[in-house]
Structures are given as C-alpha cells and as structure tokens.
Chain A
Amino acid sequence: MTGGGGLLLALMAASFLPAALIFPLPEAWETTRRTINLVGAGVKVVLVVVLAIGVFTGAQYELRATFLPGIDLVLRADPIPVLFVFLSALLWFTTTIYAIGYLARGDHRSRFFGFFSLCVASTVGIALAGNLVTFLLFYELLTVTTYPLVVHQGDEKARAAGRVYLLYTVTGGAVLLLGTVWLQVVAGTVTFGDTAVLTGLASEQRTTLTVIFVLLIAGLGVKAALVPLHGWLPRAMVAPAPVSALLHAVAVVKAGVYGIVRVVHDLYGAPLATELGVLTPLAVLAAVTIVYGSLRALVQDDIKRRLAFSTVSQLSYIVLGASIVSLVSVTGALAHLVHQGVMKVTLFYCAGILSRNYGISRVSQMAGAGRRAPVTMTMLTIAALGKIGVPPTVGFVTKWHLGLGAADVGQTWVIAVLLASSALNAAYFLPMLSRAWFAREEEVPAHPRAASAAAAVTPAGVRITGSSIIAKLREADLWLLFPAVLTGTSVLVLGILAGLPSSPVDWAEGIARVLFEGRP
C-alpha cells in the first residue's frame, strides 16, 4: 500500500458503509435513513474533492491487495478515474436528495437505499480500478446491485424488465470475463495506463489482440448500450425516476462507456488500436448507434422511453469521440462523460417530477406543463436544448470538440453524423417543449392526479399573468426541485464557463494531452 491508499480506502468506505448501515434499519426509521444517506453522500463529495486536489498537485494514490496468486486488485487515482469519480460523487449526492423526496411514501425503502448505496460504491470501484481484473469485479458487482433497483416496483412489468436487464448484462459480463481471462493469459496483469505491454505484443499476437479487443468492447458495449446490444435500456425505464437517473447518467451506462474509453486509451492505447484497425469499425458502430437511437426516440410517446432512446444515442457520442484519434475529439469524449451525465440526470429528475406530481408521463399529455410546473419545465428545457447541442450549453461544448477533432484528422463524415443527430434531437425534443410551453388553453387537459400542493397554488388552467415566479416554487417538493435546479443550471453554467480552468472540458483536455503527448 503506497502513500495515499488511506484516502481511497476512506472513499470506498464512505460508499459501502451507508449500505451496511441502512440494510438492517427498520422501514419506519425515515430520519435515520435520510441522515445516513446524506452524510454518506456528503462525506464522499468532500473526499473526492480532496482526492482531486491531491491528484492535480501530483500526489499518488494507490491501494493494492492480492486477489489471486499473481493477480492484484488495484485501486488507483489517475486523472481519468478522478474525473469519473468526481462526476459520480456529485451526481450521487443530488440523486440521493432526489430519491429521498421521490420515495418519501414508498415501501421497501431500506432495501432500496441499501442497494442504491452499493450501486454507487461499485461505480467508485469501477472508476478507480487500476487493472482490468479489478474493473471486471466491480463491473459485475454493479450488475448485481442494480437489479433490485430496476425491479423495485415489484410488479410484473418491472420484473420482466429486470429479467431482460439481467439477461443482457450477465451475458455481457461473461463475454467481458472471457476477454479479460484471455488477455491475462496472453499478457499477464496489465495495469491501466501502461500501453507499452500490449504494444510490445502487437507484432506476434495481432489476431489475438484484435479478437480480445472485440470481446472486451462487446462485453462493455452491453452496458454502453451500443446497437444492437441496447435492448435492455428502454425496458429498464420502468424503474422509479431516481433509478433511471442513476442508470442513465451516473452508474450503469457510464460504466460501459467509461470501460470502452479505458480499454481504447489506457489498455491498448490509440496508436496500437489504430494499427489493429479496430477504431474505424468502432466509430462506425457508434455513429450507427447515434442515428438509430435518435430515430427510435422520435416515435416514442412515453417520456421516459423517449429519454431512454436518447441516452442510447448520446452515450455513443463518447464512444465516437474516443475512437477518433485526435486530441480535441478525445477531449470532447471525456468532457461528454460529465456533460451527458449532468444533462440526462436533469431530464430524468424533471420527467420524474412531471409523472409523480402531475401525472404526466407521456409526451401527448404535456400540453400546459410549462404553466403548471414552470421551474421543472425550465430545467427540462435547458437540458433538452443541451442535448440538441444549442450553445451555450455543455452539449454544444461536446459537439464542438467532437466535430473539430474529426475535422482535424480529416474525418468529416463524423460532422455529418453529429449534425444529423442534432437535427433528430431537435425533432424529438422541440415538439415536447413546444407542447409544454405553447399549447393553447383549450388543449390543456385537466389532470385529476395533480398533486394537492401544486394544485392549491395553481389550479389547472389558471393564468399566472402578473404573478412572479416565486409564487410557483411550490410546484414540487424541494427535495425534488433542488437537485433538478442544481443540475439544470449547471448545464448552462458549465457551458458558459467552459473556458475556465478546471471546467470539465479543461479537465478533459488535460487528460487527453497526457494520453497523446505523454506525462509532462
């Protein structure tokens, strides 16, 4: 165990400990559970900030334990892991607040929050994993801990979605295991970031390395929802909104794309992957996924299902950027890891508020939503515009970097894909927004299920002319509204301040520079 191992240990403990404490809690101990949850999430944010500052001032953090003879479990805080941990810690914090509000009146809350904590703990493990074996271990743990969250509602639909989820992810895990074991046999334990090992093997083991690459990407591609491995994601949206937020932005799908980024850039390295000729097919696959996901999203009426297909599409921006060998594209890909998370989490928070408090779960029901829940709809609008890539949101920052990087290396077809995707994003988000904000009075249906608190302030159909927005802040519980407002505004603020040191994109650029030009 070297220098800063203690901090990593504390970080893991801050994630696992709440789970261990929450599981045995009686269902009725609401306050205790909330406190443990929030303290855990808060402590983790603080630890991650300390870790980030440490890493950027040059400190080394590593935690090593023997797993099997010759195979070590390694946790290490490199710049890419820290970016991902940072994202997951912050979004976990907001999602915890949101989940507490969302499930204020549910059953099995100890089970839910226990697995919720475990799920994020696994994500921390995935992020910090120092080699492929460690990564695989936490990756599988994530699969297992997410299942109870997906089926939380316990009805037949949820259980069916859970079955599909397990079928896909367990199969994907098996393929990943095969690839990992094979690589272990061929090359021994390869530490992430040490691309020299595989590059050295390239001349004699070309085919083997290519096959292993395909296996690894196929295994990771399930969680990253690459077409045609995306089938589970739209089904899993039956889960409660906080779980969807977690699934789509923080943990599961992110683990997949994060894995792909690490395999491409930290295991094989861009030069070797280019030489093997595997990056162009990967880029094409990502492009197909981007367009396919958008096309499917276009015709969904269920809001969360539309968002799910949008996730399929948006995730592949990251894969696409990672498979274009250009400093600027890789910057865009890494930044989108954060950007996509912030945008998608906002969208699911807002979709959750709309369905829980206003009974709006379909696009066709959205008429008048802007008038009934202006704050929620404002945040949803910002995030949706971000997905389209309208400046100055973070979505634009991503699109600009991906496109510029592609132009730098002469792959102009990527720009066409990005713009087609933007146009499709506009085609499925703008009608939603237009219906919510600009529907005529008579098109606005009366919703019997409107929450009493909101209805007391603004009964459906009442013009809010002349009133200021402060009166409307009671449209939802602050537990729900605060996280949505926080992430929604950061979609804008992070975009406007993209040039500031330590903005996500600046951070990503630093990492990409290390990947391309070596450590300074």
Chain B
Amino acid sequence: MSTSPLLLLSLLPRLDPALLSATLLWTAPLALPLLAALLAPLLPAPRRYPLTVVATLPALLFALLPPAGPPPDLTWLLLDLELGVAGPRRLLLAAIAGVWLAGAVAARELLTSRLGTATVWLVALTGNLGVVLADDLVTLYAAFAVMTFAAYPLVVHDRTPAARRAGRVYIVLSVLGEALLLSGLLVAASRAATTSLDGLAEAVAIGQVPTGVLGLMVAGFAVKAGVIPVHLWLPLAHPAAPVPASAVLSGAMIKAGVVGWLSVLALEAGPPAVIGQVLIAVGVVSILVAALLGVTQDKVKVVLAYSSISQLGFITVVVGVGATDPTRGVAAATAVAAYVLHHGLAKAALFLSVSVTDLLPRRVVLAGTAFAGLALAGAPATSGYLAKQAAKDTVGLLPAPMGDQVTLLLSVGAVGTTLLMARVLVLLTRATAPTPAPGDVPPPPRWSGPTIAWSGLLVGVATATFLLPPLLTDTWPAPRFTASAVVAASWPVLVGVGLAVGAAWLRPRIAGGDRAARWRPPPGDVVVLLEAATRGLGRLLRRGMDVGVRAGDRLRAAGRTVHARVHPLEAFGRLDELLTRWRALGLSFLVVALLLLWTLRP
C-alpha cells in the first residue's frame, strides 16, 4: 500500500537544498502573500499597509526574473499542484501584479480600516496570481474560487444597502459561474485523464473534450470577465466598492476570466471553431452595447464599469479569433496578454482619478485622466496604441470579408470608448471639490498613497507596452508607426471627440435634448428584472416548501388523532366483530375464491 503515516518521515531525506530552494522560489509569489494574510490581523493597523504593499513584490519580481529551470515537483499540495509561466503568462503575471501593487499603494485607508480587510485583500491577490501561475485544472479552479470569495468583502466593504445589493448580485452570479466552470472542469479532467493543462491541451487537440464541456468552462470564466450577458454584477460592484478595490477589481481580477479562457481553451491545440465564433459574437456585442449603456450613466465609476465591459469585449474578440484556428493561437494569446497589461494599468489609473480629485489640482487630474482615456481608446503614442495594433493584426488573420468587418466593428468600438472617456471627463469636471469645514482636519498630504499610485500608473500607461511585451515574451510583433497605422488608430478617437463635442453643443439647442440626456437605464440594466424574477421565485419556493411542511404536519396530526381514536387492540377487536357478521364472511369468502380462481388462470 502506498499510504503510510511513516511516509511523511520518508519525505525528510528528499529535502535536498536544490529542491528546497526551487520549491521556495516557485511558491514564493503565492506563499508570501498568504503568509502576510495570516500575519496581518496580528499586527497593529498601520503596519498592515506596508505589509500588503510588500507582499505584492515577489510576484512582480518573479515575472521579471523567473527562476531558471523547470518548476519543482509540487504535487503534494492541493491535488497535484503544478505551476508554470509558459507562453504569455509572464506578461500576464507582470500586468496583474503591477495593478495590485498600484492598488495596494493607493489603499492605505482601506487596508487599515477594519481588522480583516488587509487579509481578504491579500487572499484575493493570492487567488488572482494563482490563476495566472496555475498549470493544472484544480489549482486554476482553486485560485479562481479563492479570489472570487475573497473579493466579496471588498465589494461590500462600505456596508451600505447599495454595497450589500452589489455584493449579493456579485456572489450569486459568481457561484453560478463557478458551478458551470466546475462541471466543465470535472468532465474535462475525466476525459483527459489528467488535471495538467498540457494534458488537457492534448485532449482538446484530438477532440476528446466535447464542445459542450469546453463551452461550460468558457461560460464559467465569462462571468468573471463580465461580458454581456453575464456582465450584470460589474456596474453594481464597481461603484459600491471603495476606489482602490474597484481599481484592482477592474484592472486585475476580471482578467482572471480571460486568463482562464487562455488556460482551458488551449488556443494552439485547436479548440472547436464554434467556440471561437461565439466568443467573437459575444465580444462584439459587449463592445457596442456596453458603450451605449455606459455613456448614459451619471456616476464616474458606473461609466468606468461599462467601459470595462466594453474593453473586455475587445479582449474576448481576440481570444475568439485565436480559438477559430490553431495557427492564430500564439498571436492571439500574445495580443491578449499585452491588452490585459494595457487595460489593467489604464483602468486602474482611471479609477484612482476619482480619489485623487481631492488631493491634486483639478487641471492635473483632468489631464491625467484624459491621457489614460486616450490610451484606452488607442490613440497613438500610448500603451493602447500598441495593444490595439497587436489585437487588430490578430483579427486581420480572419478570412477576408470577416476580418475586415470585425476590424471595422473594433474601430467603431474605439469611437464608443472615446465617448465613454469624454463622459468620464465631463462627470469629473462636474464633481464639486469637497469644501473643508472650519476647524476640520488638515487636508491630506499631496504625495500620499493615491497620488503616488496614480502617477505611477500613468507612467505605466505611457511606457508599459513599449517595454514589457518584448522583454517578457518572445512572440511580440515589432510595432509599426507607419502613416496608415497611425491614421487607423487616430480616426476613431477623432470621431469620438467630435461626437462628444457635437452632443454637448446640441444638447441645449434641440427640443427635448435635456430630457434625452437625463434618460438612463439603471446601472446593471437587466439585473433589475432578474432581481424581481428571483424575488418572485424565492417567494414561490418558500410558499411551496411551507405547503409541503404543513401537509406533513397535518398528516402527522391526522395520524395522532387516528391513533388516539382507534386504539390498535380495540381496532382488531372491532375488525373481528365485523368479520363475524355473516355478510362480511360471505364477502370475504367471495374475495378469496376469486383470488384462487385468478391464480388458476392458464
């Protein structure tokens, strides 16, 4: 028998220094944040802030300087844990760790506010990093789930009714998404007869994993990625969460869905093309619909949430293109990783704009926000320019008519992004500066956490996609700055700016313009209908169960009355009495005779 408590002892000699150091190096990006999470509640509140910031660094270092050599055997953790940073994952790790670092720097107030906040922050961080590093299905799912549940306290941190509602919608959708994901994972692991991602890729390549199963997994991750129609939680959760939490939620955590797609779809192995086609369709719809819904909103963080849905739609299209043909896999995965980096930094910067408005001069904040917004729209000389170029080049790999159509739709989407960013700027301008009450606490120092993080992110927005993708991947295409490329990137931005200016000019000048501008769907749009439906369903279920339980009670009560009225022995006596009557006797004789006759049938 393989198992023995004694085997634990036999592990000891296996601890040779090389293995030990490899194990420590590889697990450090995950183990150190977890240790910090355990340590945080033991420290006094102010110390939790530097601890959290520092705990993000191992992952960033790991992405920039991964240890040489293959990962050590970690199968004694979880169920055969495997880690890896193959393909675009180094870049993804750097992107996600970078966003978390900036978020932590900006989060002093949040991290020191309540006893457990730093802990859940660090646990969510570990989960998010684990999703990137996981090289087997169980670890992937485990990290994903850990991140999901640890993010809930961040969403409901403010304890307001709105936060509680956002948390409810978030957790319900997440649990359902994870159920879809796990059902797919279980069947996939069974079909592949392994949990390693490489094994899964092989099984996908020879068509052993049914399309429906892959679809379940893709749908499960889609809830996190927040594409339409499973985007419902995003426009509620982002405005409800504290600003730094929104920044990491939008900048890093929703990307876990994308990373999950890349991990299970095995783009280079050639998943069924239909999945790619569905993803392209879903992505295009998300890009356009979310932009339309977003521009009507009147809260900065809601507009930013819809912008994230739109941007994730963009990424979804690229993943979809990669999934339609194995030859496009590498290009798509690299483009997705670069886009994740670009969007993570830009979106985190945009969210932090909300909290630096109190700390920096209005003009500086607006300029920085405009720059991040331009990057998001893909204007030249920003990180967005390169990311969008790689993405569009990938889309251009599609066969002739479709490639051009989708590229055009992406450009239209960039117009939408520009409009959303214009909306953000308008709303930020409108926001009134807080009037310091007399005798109030002195204003916070200008160079505090949020401003440092915000400026750092803006530097990243300007430089990251120029520096990191060539450094961390070997599949990054050389960027082009030709005239046609610059024009292709510029016209959607110009059209968007033109439209925004036009709308602002027209609004007071046409009849009903003001009323039209005030019309807006509720944040989270159809979630309102779903909430009403589930409330009704819940009432129905509860009533149904009450009826069932009451029926059970009545049955028992009836049983007791019968028992009380008809004493068993007495009942036998009465039965006997009945039988002695000749009529009954005759009747029973007849019954017995009939039974006998029936048994004699041929």
Contact = CB atoms under 8 A, between A and B. Distances in A.
Interface of A: 49, 52-53, 56-57, 79, 295-296, 298-299, 374, 385, 390-392, 396-397, 399-400, 403-404, 406-408, 412, 415-416, 419, 422-423, 426, 430, 434, 437-441, 464-470, 495-502, 505-507, 509-510, 513-514, 520
29 contacts: A53-B4, A57-B4, A295-B545, A296-B545, A391-B145, A391-B146, A392-B142, A396-B145, A400-B186, A407-B189, A407-B191, A416-B183, A419-B182, A423-B175, A430-B171, A440-B159, A440-B160, A465-B45, A466-B112, A468-B43, A469-B42, A495-B78, A499-B76, A499-B80, A502-B3, A502-B7, A506-B3, A509-B3, A510-B2
Contact of B5 (A79, A415, A470, A502): A502
B8 A500 contact: yes
Interface of B: 1-8, 11, 41-46, 75-81, 112-116, 138, 141-142, 145-146, 149, 152-153, 156, 159-160, 164, 167, 171, 175-176, 179, 182-183, 186-187, 189-191, 542, 545
A514 B187 CA distance: 25
B44 A468 contact: yes
The CB with the most chain A CB atoms within 10 A, among B1, B171, B175, is that of B1
A427 to B, nearest CB: 8
Nearest to B189: A404
A323 to B, nearest CB: 18
Contacts of B3: 56, 501-502, 506-507, 509-510
Nearest to A391: B142
Contacts of A79: 1
A298 B541 CA distance: 10
A296 B77 CA distance: 36
A404 B186 contact: yes
Given A299-B542, A500-B77, 11 more contacts: A391-B141, A400-B186, A406-B186, A408-B190, A423-B176, A430-B175, A467-B44, A470-B42, A499-B76, A502-B8, A506-B3
Q: Is the interface of A mostly helix, strand, loop or mixed?
A: helix
Nearest to B114: A465
A253 to B, nearest CB: 22
Nearest to B168: A434
Q: Is the interface of B mostly helix, strand, loop or mixed?
A: helix
A505 to B, nearest CB: 8
Given A57-B4, A400-B138, A403-B186, A419 B159 contact: no
Nearest to B545: A299
A499 B77 CA distance: 5
A391 B142 CA distance: 5
Contacts, number: 149
A497 B76 contact: yes
A390 B145 contact: yes
Contact of A396 (B11, B142, B175): B142
B159 A53 contact: no
A483 B5 CA distance: 23
A57 B179 contact: no
Contacts of A390: 145-146, 149
Given A299-B542, A501-B11, A469 B41 contact: yes
A53 B159 CA distance: 52
Nearest to A396: B142
A499 B190 contact: no
A415 B179 CA distance: 10
A398 to B, nearest CB: 11
B91 to A, nearest CB: 26
Contacts of A468: 41-45
A426 B175 contact: yes
A498 B79 CA distance: 6
A295 B395 CA distance: 48
A497 B8 CA distance: 12
Nearest to A469: B41
B6 A438 contact: no
Contact of B1 (A437, A500, A520): A520
Contacts of B153: 437-438
B159 A439 contact: yes
Nearest to A437: B153
Given A470-B42, A500-B76, A514-B1, A419 B179 contact: yes
Contacts of B80: 499
Contacts of B115: 374, 464-465, 467, 469
Contacts of A509: 2-3
The CB with the most chain B CB atoms within 10 A, among A391, A403, A415, A495, is that of A391
